[in-house]
Amino acid sequence: MYTYVHNKQEADPMTLPYSAWQIAKQSLTNHKNWTPAWRTKQPKKHYDVIVIGAGGHGLATAYYLATQHNIKHVAVLEKNWLGGGNTGRNTTAIRSNYFYPESVALYDLSVRLYENLSAELNYNVMFSQRGMLVMAHSEAEMEMASRMTNAMQINGTDAELWGRKKTAKRIPVLNYSDTARYPIHGGVWQSRAGTGRHDAVAWGYARAADKAGVDIIQNCEVTDFIVEGGRCQGVNTQLGEIRGEQTAMVVAGHSSPLASLAGFSLPLHSYALQAFVTEPIKPVLDTVVFSPSYGTYVSQSDKGGLVFGGALDRVPSYGQKGNLPMQEQVITGLIEMMPIAQRAKLLRHWAGIVDVTPDSSPLIGGTPLPGLALNCGWGTGGFKAIPAGGFLTAHYLAKGGHHEISKPFDLSRFERGELIDEGAASGIAH
Amino acid sequence: MQQFPCPYCGLRNETEFHFAAESGKTRPDTNTPIDDKHWSDYLYQNYNPKGTSKEVWMHLACREVFLMTRDTVNMDVLEVQALRGEHHD
Ligand SMILES: Cc1cc2nc3c(=O)[nH]c(=O)nc-3n(C[C@H](O)[C@H](O)[C@H](O)COP(=O)(O)OP(=O)(O)OC[C@H]3O[C@@H](n4cnc5c(N)ncnc54)[C@H](O)[C@@H]3O)c2cc1C
Ligand SMILES: [Zn+2]
């Protein structure tokens, strides 16, 4: 149904509210009168804000600019189709089990926004708070797990320390053998964590932003910045020049090439991150599990596929396909931690290009070029952060300065030496 | 599995190699005061190019550090260069 709706571009641009009543009503006319979820627009000459990149963060930024700050002359420019970047490629784990107070404040804001997002957007983003366990495999790791649990609780989010018995009762499908490569001792449980529907997050924000008056322009690659008087005044695109009072680049793994067009570099490396899904099987796993030792995390989708992934590829890359050694590591990790998975056939495998900072924390705020802001550096874990990232970037643009929560994530933290080192704190993170 | 050429050992599996950094950075002279910006640029900034990239790599098996020029999109190795001594072709 959604595909049909999105492609029917000549129809009435009025957004129909989605509801059971609407489905019943549309069924009377054989579902022929559904309208597009967003309009297809040609760019205007000038906007208050230009957002580059229609991933979740770019679309959410535009949505919150329009709805929270009443800034309606906003364009989102996307070189491909919206949601086709990392937002449409991720494994949808949503959680706030981070170590540092700054991170918990950021990611927990996001989880709280997710909790109400389907209702707010009138679009079911299928946020399922099925809980997540980060496993510990030795006494020493249990010590670290208890430190993590304490830190999370002190920082105001929910966390429980689970032992082996509780884990085995709640998640029986894992490998509890004493001879397992990494025996399971327990782990850190976050009950409000879970999964969402990646496309729905992009589509829901796009539809709601469009309804609020935002122009979403697909197939419109930004090729250069217009810099006059030392300030960014807009962008050049394949559809011509578009001017903006302010511009925000929200392009994840492609942030460095854009930054170099704007005349600066960023503390980023781009890597391929891979993910996998098996054929659908009967329900065996109703939560998200992650083992830093095996280097694998997994959940089961509503369709029944085991959705899993692991660490970054070892070699910086812009080639949107993963390499074999990492596949082997992730797949062997999965079948050792969940042996029944070895019978399942792999259905699909893919990769996205993610932007990794030295401290595995994101970048939000200004750039060396006045008039140009950024939101990037989410690396392997920015799907969970889409509502907060958009909310905070919109705040930065509208108020001309940081919200308390985004302040620590400013680019200037590297010069100040105030890194928020979640790479070391939460291990490989998704 | 991709193979990378070590200037000393020849073609080896990619898992034997470690990416260290982009090449071309010069460590600021710390005998004289340097400002925070230059120091943090040295530590953290990267060009992170899409396309040709010249990088410092280590072959973990022989522990030698060398320069490798790669295409970061199609992963082709364009050139390797030893940083010292003689190397085998
Ligand atoms: C395999 C994989 C698994 C992941 N798993 C998780 C997970 O479980 N949980 C989690 O929280 N996160 C996860 N992530 C990370 C998450 O997907 C990203 O951090 C997040 O989607 C980033 O959103 P974004 O909007 O910033 O970027 P994207 O969704 O990548 O959007 C950026 C957009 O910018 C566009 N663009 C680029 N250059 C230009 C240009 N010059 N002009 C116009 N448009 C341009 C791109 O086409 C793209 O659509 C995963 C990522 C991958 C790849
Ligand atoms: Zn060697």
pLDDT digits (tens, 9 = 90+) for A170-223: 999 999 999 999 999 999 999 999 999 999 999 999 999 999 999 999 999 999
State how far residue B89 is from chain A, nearest Cα, in angstroms.
24
State how far residue B42 is from chain A, nearest Cα, in angstroms.
10
Element spanning A297, H or E: strand A296-300
Q: What is the mean pLDDT of residues A158-171?
A: 98
> ∠ at Cα A87 (A210, A420), nearest 5°?
110
Burial of A254 per CB tally in 10 Å (0-12, 13-18, 19+): buried
Residue whose C-alpha is closest to residue A116's, from A391, A387, A383, A382: A387
% residues pLDDT > 90 (chain A): 91
Chain B: which residues have CB within 8 Å of chain A?
1-2, 13-15, 18-19, 36-37, 40, 43-51, 53, 55, 72-75
Contacts of B44 in chain A (CB under 8 A): 267, 358, 414
| Helices and strands counted in chain A (H then E) | 13, 18
Contacts of A112 (CB under 8 A, 6+ apart): none
Domains recognised in chain B with CATH numbers: 3-27+41-82 (3.30.2270.10)
Give the atom of ligand 1 at the shortest distance from the alpha carbon of A353: 53
Of B1, B49, B53, the CB nearest to A325: B1
Q: What is the mean pLDDT of residues A371-390?
A: 97
Q: Taking the C-alpha atoms of A213, A111, A400 and A67 in order, what is their torsion angle to the nearest 10 degrees?
A: 20
Q: Give pLDDT, residue A109.
A: 97
Q: Model-level pTM?
A: 0.94
Residue type, A400: G
DSSP A140-208: HHHHHHHHHHHHHHHTTS--EEEEHHHHHHH-TTS---TTSSS---EEEEETT-EE--HHHHHHHHHHH
* A&B contacts, CB < 8 Å: 72
In angstroms, what is the span from residue B62 Cα to ligand 2's centroid? 4
Note the ipTM here.
Answer: 0.92
Contacts of A415 in chain B (CB under 8 A): 36-37, 40
State how far residue A209 is from chain B, nearest Cα, in angstroms.
31
Q: Do A414 and B43 touch (CB under 8 A)?
A: yes
Q: Give pLDDT, residue B85.
A: 63
pLDDT digits (tens, 9 = 90+) for B19-74: 999 999 999 998 999 999 999 999 999 999 999 999 999 999 999 999 999 999 99
Interface residue of B39, B48, B50, B53 to substitute, partner A, most A CBs within 10 Å: B48
Residue whose C-alpha is closest to residue B16's, from B62, B70, B54, B53: B62
| Mean pLDDT (chain A, rounded) | 93
- Residue ID of nearest Cα to ligand 1 atom 2: A90
Interface residue of A318, A320, A356, A413 to substitute, partner B, most B CBs within 10 Å: A318
Q: What is the mean pLDDT of residues A133-143?
A: 97
Of B19, B40, B49, the CB nearest to A414: B40
Contacts of B25 in chain A (CB under 8 A): none
DSSP A64-117: HHHHHS----EEEE-SSSTT-SGGGTS--EE----SSHHHHHHHHHHHHHHHTH
Contacts of B50 in chain A (CB under 8 A): 254, 256-257, 270, 318
Chain A: which residues have CB within 8 Å of chain B?
254, 256-257, 260, 265-270, 314-319, 323-325, 358, 414-417
Confidence of residue A12 (pLDDT cuts 50, 70, 90): very low
pLDDT digits (tens, 9 = 90+) for A215-260: 999 999 999 999 999 999 999 999 999 999 999 999 999 999 999 9
State how far residue A407 is from chain B, nearest Cα, in angstroms.
19
Q: What is the mean pLDDT of residues B5-9?
A: 96
Residue type, A54: A
Rg (CA), chain A: 22
Q: What is the mean pLDDT of residues A80-99?
A: 96
State how far residue B41 is from chain A, nearest Cα, in angstroms.
8
- Residue ID of nearest Cα to ligand 1 atom 18: A382
Specify the 3-state DSSP secondary structure of A290.
strand
- Residue ID of nearest Cα to ligand 1 atom 33: A53
Distance between CA atoms of B7 and A417, rounded to whole angstroms?
37
Q: Give pLDDT, residue A419.
A: 94
Domains recognised in chain A with CATH numbers: 46-124+198-267+358-426 (3.50.50.60), 132-193+270-356 (3.30.9.10)
% residues pLDDT > 70 (chain A): 95
Strands A306-316, A269-278: parallel, antiparallel or unpaired by DSSP? antiparallel
- Residue ID of nearest Cα to ligand 1 atom 4: A90
Confidence of residue A322 (pLDDT cuts 50, 70, 90): confident
Contacts of B77 in chain A (CB under 8 A): none
In contact, A117 and A59? CB cutoff 8 Å: no
Contacts of A270 in chain B (CB under 8 A): 48, 50, 72
> ∠ at Cα A334 (A151, A346), nearest 5°?
135
Residue type, B2: Q
Q: Taking the C-alpha atoms of A369, A371, A377 and A382 in order, what is their torsion angle to the nearest 10 degrees?
A: 180
The ligand placed nearest to the CA atom of residue A43 is 1
- Residue ID of nearest Cα to ligand 1 atom 32: A251
What residues are in contact with ligand 1 under a 6 Å CB criterion? A 52-58, 77-80, 84-87, 89-93, 221-222, 250-252, 254, 258, 273-275, 309, 352, 354, 378, 380-384, 430
Q: Do B44 and A323 touch (CB under 8 A)?
A: no
